[in-house]
Structures are given as C-alpha cells and as structure tokens.
Amino acid sequence: MRRTLRQVSCAAALALGGAGVAHAEWSRTYVVEWYEAAMYYGADEGVIDPGTDCPAGTNGEPDWTKVMLEAGYSAQETRWLLDPTHPFRPEGHSTSGQNQMAFRGKDRANVYSQPWLAPDPVLTGVSGSIGEGFDLDGDPDNGFTSPDGSMSGIDNQFYRTLGCWLTYRGPHRQSQHALSKNDEMREGAWTVAIVVSGEGDDPLNDDNVRIGFYNSEDALVKDGNGDIARDYTFVIAPDQRFEAIFDARTVNGVIETTRPADEVWLREASYVRELQLLEAQVRLEMKPDGTLSGHVGGYRPWFDIYKGWIDARGAVIEKLTWIELPGVYYALERNADFSPDGAGGEKTHISFAMRLDAAPAFVMTPGAAELATEVVSYKSIAPPPGKRHRAIPGPLGDRVVDGIVLTKDGVLLGGPEAEIPPPEAESQIASLRE
C-alpha cells in the first residue's frame, strides 16, 4: 500500500537515526504534476483568436483539396481521398486522415519521411515581443522580453516557430497538446521526481544548491478532485539517461542555475517523450504553499520534434491540428539557432523552454532505503541501456512507419503507385472490419 509523507517520514527517521549518513543542511522534494512548452498566450480568449502573440490568430486549416490537386492528384482522386465515407485505412488510423495523404511529394514521395520533396507552405510564426524562457546566448539585445518586463534577450525559437499552431496555443495548462500529453503522465505513463538540497542555513537564500530530476516507477496519485495528490512517496528509479542534475542557488526562494548544464535528458509531455537539452538552465520558485513552479530550458534537437509528430500518425495530426507537416519541418530548420559544433556548425538544435509545476512529495533513494536528502547521481547503479524503467511506446507501437499506419498484418494500404480509388476498395474495407 502506498504510504503518505508523514508515515514514511517517521519510519525513515527511525531507520536513519543511527546510520551515520551525511546529509545536506536542507532538502525539499517534489513530483512533477504538469509541464508544457512555454508558449506565451497573447489573446484575451479563445485558441484561434488574434492576440499580441499571433495578430492574425492561429494558422488556418489548410485547403486540403488545393493541396492534393497541387500535388498532382486528379479531382476524382482528391474527392475520394478526402471523403470520410471511403475510409480506406487500417484500424487505429483516425477517420480524420489516411495513409495516401503522405504521398504528395515529388513523384509521389512520402512527404513525412522526405519533407524536402514537398513545397514549403510557410508556417506563420509568433510576431509578438513577449516570451518565456532564458537568455541562453548571453545577448540581452535579441530575443523576447519576459511578461513582467524583468528580463530581455530570451531565446525561445521553438515558441517563435510553433506558437501560432493550433495545438500549442492557449493559456497555461489549457492548450490542446499540453492537456493530451499531461493526461498520459497523470495516468501513469511516467513519473519525474525532484530533489533540491542546499548547504546554507536559509533554504530561501543559499549560494550552494543542487537540484536533481529523477525517474520513478511509482505512478502519480489523484485526489477526489482529479488533481495530483500531495505528500505521497516516490522511489527513485536509476536511469543512465534520464537523470538531470544542476548546480544552482536560491534567491528569495527562487532556484536558479549558477552555470548551464552541458547536457541533460528528461522525460517530456509530448509525442517526442524524450527531451535532450544542451546548455540547460532552470528557474523554479519554491512557493509558500509547498509547490514548485517555473521553467526549465536549453537547446533541443529540432528534428526530433518533427519526427515526434510524424510518429504520431502524420495524416491524423495534419487533419486534427490544421497543419501541413512539411511546413513544421521547414520552419524548425529555418529558425534553429544552435550548433553543438560551434558558431560555424550545422544548427541542429533550437532554443526551448518549458513550464513546470510540481507538488510536494516524499522522495526515497533507490530501493526505498532512505530519504533522498541530497542531490547525487545514481547512474552507476542504473540498468544497462535498453533496459530502462517503464519504456513509453508510441500510439500504435511498430505499426507507424514514416508517418503512415500499417495494418495489423504489416500491410501498407496506399503508396506511390496506388490506384485511387483502389479497384477492390470496398471488399478490402469489409475484410479489414471483419
């Protein structure tokens, strides 16, 4: 049975009384209950409405008839492909889209796996001056200004690129994408525990602080209102990748990194699910009510973002979120702003920040041996790569290949040479439904 913070605190305190284990002067522990891309919302209301972030509102729904005709499909083929009464698609593929939508590049190439063979539809990005995140490059004269005006030079090209896309836009905790992916975490797909420890006598103002993010195999617990319950216990599950440790300080209760971490990996509430951050920073406030809230940011690989959307079923994403996915590819490539190889290298990463909310929790060291009162690395006792704790599969597992969905038997319905409508479409549809 899961025990509460008070119950485990008493038991652990007795166990540790004679252990002689060195501890930090103070520590606080949490569990992530929500995180999302830091997309500043500049409208008064509504997701698609104009605002200071997106003066014309979100990018409108593509004219799919025009898209398919310009890709070389005939009027008859286009009508059949876009007609929901002819759902020539495998089970598990939403009626909002179908595989053949992928094959609209040059010579009917798959535009999901080869987006450069499709024309750039030119995604409209954020034109406002307000944004959230960090001054990653140290230049206060470029980038966004924080909502309260206290920081300039904020680097968040991810937001500039995708902030006017329907799926990401909305007030804090209300965007389509954040609601969907945080639901997965809250239903047990993964858990991230946080430990903060310091060496001074005032936790709110300490120059020697560390903050660690760790995996846990203990699922989040909801209270009677559906919110994440406070003060439950979570055991750290060591992982050779998903462990992020930062050197920091606290100033009036705000944890801020004293130097960027070269590279960290975190779970992420998105289709990517794995977040690599270079030059990573944190700024999180320890609030009087015991919660933790703020931002984590750095430079992330931009192609992984694109691939995450492709792996989520390309045609479904396009139809449901009003986007031509090749436009996402082109926009991310165009706005990427960091190269791990230096100023002259290929810009494979894009500046990014995410908002994070965490609830007070009780965090135990691996094996639940004792309270986690210090931020230390557990990588040396982590399982080998490939045997990570609780892997998170894609929506349809191995059935999604290059953005298209195979049948349960591994058959592709559609393709560059497919006849449209298929000669035996109705009979094949019937057999798939049996």
Per-residue confidence in pLDDT tens, the chain, 434 aa: 344 443 444 444 333 333 333 458 999 999 999 999 999 999 999 999 999 999 999 999 999 999 999 999 999 989 888 887 765 555 544 544 678 899 999 999 999 999 999 999 999 999 999 999 999 999 999 999 999 999 999 999 999 999 999 999 999 999 999 999 999 999 999 999 999 999 999 999 999 999 999 999 999 999 999 999 999 999 999 999 999 999 999 999 999 999 999 999 999 999 888 999 999 999 999 999 999 999 999 999 999 999 999 999 898 899 999 999 999 999 999 999 999 999 899 999 999 999 999 999 999 999 999 999 999 999 999 998 765 444 455 555 678 888 988 877 887 778 898 888 776 555 555 554 55
Question: Are 318 and 181 in the same domain?
Answer: yes
Question: Are 229 and 372 in the same domain?
Answer: yes
Question: Are 11 and 110 in the same domain?
Answer: no
pLDDT at 20: 36
Q: How does strand 233-235 pair with strand 362-364?
A: parallel
C-alpha dist (Å) from residue 421 to 92, 248, 405: 21, 61, 18
Question: Are 219 and 198 in the same domain?
Answer: yes
End-to-end CA, the chain: 43
Q: How does strand 400-401 pair with strand 404-405?
A: antiparallel
- Is there a domain that residue 24 lies in? no
pLDDT at 5: 44
Number of domains in the chain: 2
- Is there a domain that residue 25 lies in? no
- Is there a domain that residue 11 lies in? yes
Question: Are 151 and 111 in the same domain?
Answer: no
The residues, ordered by sequence, that sit 6+ positions from 36 with a Cβ below 8 Å of its Cβ are 172, 173, 175, 177, 178, 181, 182, 269, 354, 355
- Is there a domain that residue 346 lies in? yes
Question: Are 232 and 197 in the same domain?
Answer: yes
Question: Are 299 and 426 in the same domain?
Answer: no
Provide the token pair at 285. 């406030």
Could you tell me the residue range of the domain that residue 361 belongs to? Answer: 5-19+30-58+122-397
- Is there a domain that residue 194 lies in? yes
Per-residue pLDDT tens for 301-358?
999 999 999 999 898 899 999 999 999 999 999 999 999 999 899 999 999 999 999 9
- Is there a domain that residue 254 lies in? yes
pLDDT at 428: 53
pLDDT at 15: 38
Nearest Cα neighbor of 309 from 102, 74, 141 is: 102
- Is there a domain that residue 285 lies in? yes
- Is there a domain that residue 274 lies in? yes
